[in-house]
């Protein structure tokens, strides 16, 4: 079989580890030929693809990003686009597609799978918000990057007796902020799952500054005050979702005005998606890639691979998407013990 691989949606560390695992497993174990689709589903609409012999994936395990490029191109956006994709699949004799992407990509892929295209998905997002899988590759790397940033912010916060506010990614969940805030010893963690009260957080910060000269506040980009809503930049992405960002600056303004304590903001942004994956993510991404090929070999299509405990199992796309995994309540209660 000729197997296509595409990476879609926001990039994240580990994508190349999946690509490498898919190509090596498909080629070495099943004698299949692999092709890489450029820039997500867009490459199947335009016919941009490259051969992926095993030599092409040599040395990419540790590399961040994706050698194929990615986009938020929606394959089901209109009939003409879908028709072009189906034509290119036939023209290039592609028997199956391994689609690596987040919830939006997997849902769009299901629309294509319903037309008879053999698709196996691999869930991907640093946000770790896909309910069907215990964790997604890329998440632990993002947590490490944010934790390293928190460690660095401690020294400058302490030197200036400031409140340092660190805004993380995570879209509408607080997994990254919560995990990294706990690992980095943050004095306050604000996440979308727990709308906050300016009055209460400022009271806590003023009380803390009676005995400590600085504070580290980690805020997820989707966090918002009670009665409010997430701050966005006024644009929608290709899947019609608001592009979040800016709560860190709103927090700094409000906190400094109310507490009179100098406050500064760091927005980590795309640094959280850059660079080499940590070892955990290299291993997990590799396992996802191998499992995706085996699902294709067993003709388990229109599904995506999910980590459940120690096992990687295929989950029907229709059942496993559209459900957000919010940050763990129990973990937040643990983190709260160290606030203030």
The residues assigned a catalytic role are: 127
By CB under 6 A, residue 111 contacts ligand F6P = no
Q: Under rule CB under 6 A, which residues in 270-289 are in contact with ligand F6P?
A: 273
Contact 174, 191 (CB under 8 A): yes
Phi, psi torsion values for 194, nearest 5 degrees: -130, 85
| Closest distance of CB 277 from ligand F6P, Å | 15
3-state secondary structure (DSSP) of residue 248 = helix
Which range touches ligand F6P (CB under 6 A), out of 169-177, 188-196, 280-288, 316-324? 169-177
Q: Would you count residue 208 as binding ligand F6P (CB under 6 A)?
A: no
- For ligand F6P, which residue of 216, 244, 261, 315 counts as binding (CB under 6 A)? 244
Kindly write out the interface string for residues 66-105 of this chain, putting x where it contacts ligand F6P by CB under 6 A and - elsewhere: ------x-----------------------------x---
Residues binding ligand F6P: what is the number (CB under 6 A)? 14
How far is it, in rounded angstroms, from Cα 133 to Cα 319? Answer: 12
126: CB partners within 8 A, 6+ apart: 10, 12, 13, 136, 138, 139, 141, 142, 169, 170, 176, 272, 273
> Could you tell me which stretch among 124-132, 146-154, 291-299, 305-313 binds ligand F6P (CB under 6 A)?
124-132
Strand partners, 242: 236
Q: In whole angstroms, give the CA distance from residue 272 to residue 270.
A: 5
The answer to whether 100 touches 141, Cβ cutoff 8 Å, is no
The interface region with ligand F6P, picked from 105-113, 156-164, 236-244, 254-262 by CB under 6 A, is 236-244
Considering only residues 26, 169, 278, 292, which one is a binding residue for ligand F6P as defined by CB under 6 A? 169
CA distance 130 to 197: 28
When the beta carbons of 16 and 263 are compared against ligand F6P, the nearer one is 16
Q: Write out the DSSP string of 141-181.
A: HHHHHHHHHHHHHHHHHHHHT-EEEEEE--TT--HHHHHHH
Residue of minimal Cβ distance to ligand F6P: 169
Residues lying near ligand F6P in the complex (CB under 6 A) are found at 10, 72, 102, 125-127, 169-171, 221, 237, 243-244, 273
């Amino acid at each position: 079989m000729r197997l296509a691989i595409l990476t879609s949606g926001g990039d994240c560390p580990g994508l190349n580890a999946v690509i490498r695992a898919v190509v090596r497993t498909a080629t070495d174990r099943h004698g299949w030929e692999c092709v890489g689709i450029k820039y997500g589903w867009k490459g199947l609409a335009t016919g941009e693809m490259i051969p992926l012999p095993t030599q092409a994936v040599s040395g990419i395990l540790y590399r961040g990003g994706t050698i194929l490029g990615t986009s938020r191109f929606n394959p089901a956006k209109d009939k003409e686009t879908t028709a072009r994709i189906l034509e290119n699949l036939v023209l290039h004799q592609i028997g199956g597609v391994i689609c690596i992407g987040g919830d939006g990509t997997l849902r769009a892929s299901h629309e294509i799978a319903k037309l008879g295209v053999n698709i196996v998905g691999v869930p991907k997002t640093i946000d770790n918000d896909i309910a069907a899988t215990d964790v997604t590759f890329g998440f632990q790397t993002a947590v490490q990057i944010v934790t390293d940033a928190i460690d660095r912010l401690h020294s400058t916060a302490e030197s200036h007796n400031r409140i340092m506010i660190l805004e993380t990614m995570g879209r509408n969940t607080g997994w990254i902020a919560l995990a990294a805030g706990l690992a980095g010893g943050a004095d306050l963690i604000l996440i979308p799952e727990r709308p906050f009260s300016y009055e209460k957080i400022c009271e806590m910060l003023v009380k803390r500054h009676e005995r400590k000269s600085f504070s580290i506040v980690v805020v997820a980009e989707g966090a918002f005050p009670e009665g409010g809503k997430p701050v966005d930049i006024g644009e929608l992405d290709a899947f019609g979702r608001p592009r979040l960002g800016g709560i860190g600056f709103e927090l700094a303004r409000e906190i400094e005005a109310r507490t009179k304590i100098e406050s500064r903001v760091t927005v980590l942004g795309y640094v959280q998606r850059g660079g080499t994956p940590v070892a955990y993510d290299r291993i997990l991404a590799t396992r996802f890639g191998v499992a995706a090929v085996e699902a294709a070999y067993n003709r388990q299509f229109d599904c995506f691979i999910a980590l459940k405990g120690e096992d990687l199992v295929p989950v029907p796309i229709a059942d496993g998407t559209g459900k957000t995994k919010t940050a763990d309540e129990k973990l937040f209660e643990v983190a709260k013990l160290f606030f203030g």
